[in-house]
Structure 1
């Protein structure tokens, strides 16, 4: 800028001033050695100067893509491994996948299924049995589980499902009662000839009665009979023999053999061929095909379960409607033969007309109302006749459960609250014949 004093050498044409930094002479004019090294070091980059550092740093090595591990699916467990897990499964100590594998295996392997049941029963002994009174909903949950459980891989035949259901319901009731209640008095009822009959026993005695009569079915299937090969054929004789076989009354220990026998019957008929339904089961004075014999046993199981429930003051519901309908149908089919037997014994009015087998004769319209209800036409003159609406001479209406109570001897025929219309003599004979179906 003009008018200001310039520093020494600032404007000299040879460039030897302060700003040169590499001139050959100083202010005194003497030559100095040429030194190309800068007198002031070059500025260094700051430690936090990211841009400079990143620019000077070598490029990073290329990223290697991460290798994802593919999960390995567990291999199917062997039979030996699954068998070794049964103890942990019974204690509910298996992992979720192990539990599923074990339960799938139990539907396919009968030996392991039996072992699992034994282990579960053993686990139950490790815990104190709780009274039903402590949890009123426990019994309903157990019964719902019994009736609505997952179908088995080997399905139970339809004609055997009422027996399967009723034995399961009774077993659930027996599990709930205490030791002292096994000795609670139970009065069994049935109708003989013209009058009601009773017999006093205990809860354990009732289960022994069911077990011995179920033995007739077991014998027909080639299974072990609790009364032995030479046991009586008549249900009442078998029961009396069992009750008198020991001077000590039965205890709760009778539950396990009864339970095992009922399970064995269901397993056997489930694996049998279709012809097994017609296998004859002898009751001494009469015989029934296996399909009707198991239905008869289901009916008696329900009736005596209610006897036990009344004795220990527990509620008990009737069978499912479909099962109740089959029980009523069996009783309706047995009434004509029972009526004919009462005629031979002089306990019923004689037939009014002769009919050939298969032809229609006089009939009584039996109308069952409520759950399991329906309409049946009972032939009056011959068991071989066919009942029909066209030849109806009387009409009787009853509730389904009340009809079953009549057929089990728990309601006298003269006290049955029936709607009646038509031939009074025919109505009386049919009601008394229905009551005569009962037995010890």
Structure 2
């Protein structure tokens, strides 16, 4: 295999050999321990480096012996898990393929230290904050949490040349003002409010350009640039100020693709970044491929959008659109869906849109109002058949029943997707 793999080749490598078994949102601390044990069996150095507020173990995994130090950490927000699985897969692949020239070059050029699941208490509860209720990523100044103190110590004791801060963003984040989801967003994090571009930031812009260029080949139009507002209490900003310039990678979502696909995209991004540093190819990258990325957008899309529904509320009838959004949950949990907006929503886009004209819509409990749970009944009177079409929309899963005529006849009357 040639040294510079194409994005497609990197994706195929992940598909053939990834060791992550579960959707990232279903990976608990005990599952991470199994992954780490697999890495130990491969010969990787896996060290317990600290404990969380609830005394859960926090680990660091090392690969390589080169002079350039790369530090990567994931899941400092407990409900942002995608990169944890991708780190495990990348380290496993490198270790298993150490005899290949391109991996040998990585091993000899860089030393990678990675902390998967920095906030295991938050991961266990599947919440952003740690057990103290503190956002670890906003604790770089006060250091009130054991997780934040550990992260700072790991950086201070080692002084890495580059850091990768790995997060998840909202699934409905868009690329600019388009209706396209931002599956991955990148940010070269500055070390001061003036956004000074020093040598480290300039290099990181080129590395980010390499990642963006690779990802555009796999998910074109779904790469965004994260907000670069100065955050004086955040770790990325402070790492950059302390001498470890940081690249932030935020994973969003992509309609029709599952969580494992996004793990694969992270794997491609990580390996592309490391290869560009090791080979020196980042020096020839045009930073415009990163700088020109559209900024993240929000508020432009929802999960479900029902157009032109007859909304029935205590006998009153209003024709309008109904927007529904899903809450972040573990993959194995039932997803709650809430009404986000009702009315004339012509500028809003739905990942799934339905033409509900001709249907009377009733809320099973309460009213069709924003913030209420989306628990609808869609009813349409059918003159040529004896009975009515009843469509339940509950817990983010539309279900169809037909009474009392044959169900097979009713299926053709199911809500049609809008063009």
Structure with greater contact order relative to length (CA < 8 Å, sep ≥ 6): 2
Q: Which protein has the larger Cα radius of gyration, Structure 1 or Structure 2?
A: 1
Per the normalisation by structure 1, the TM-score is 0.22
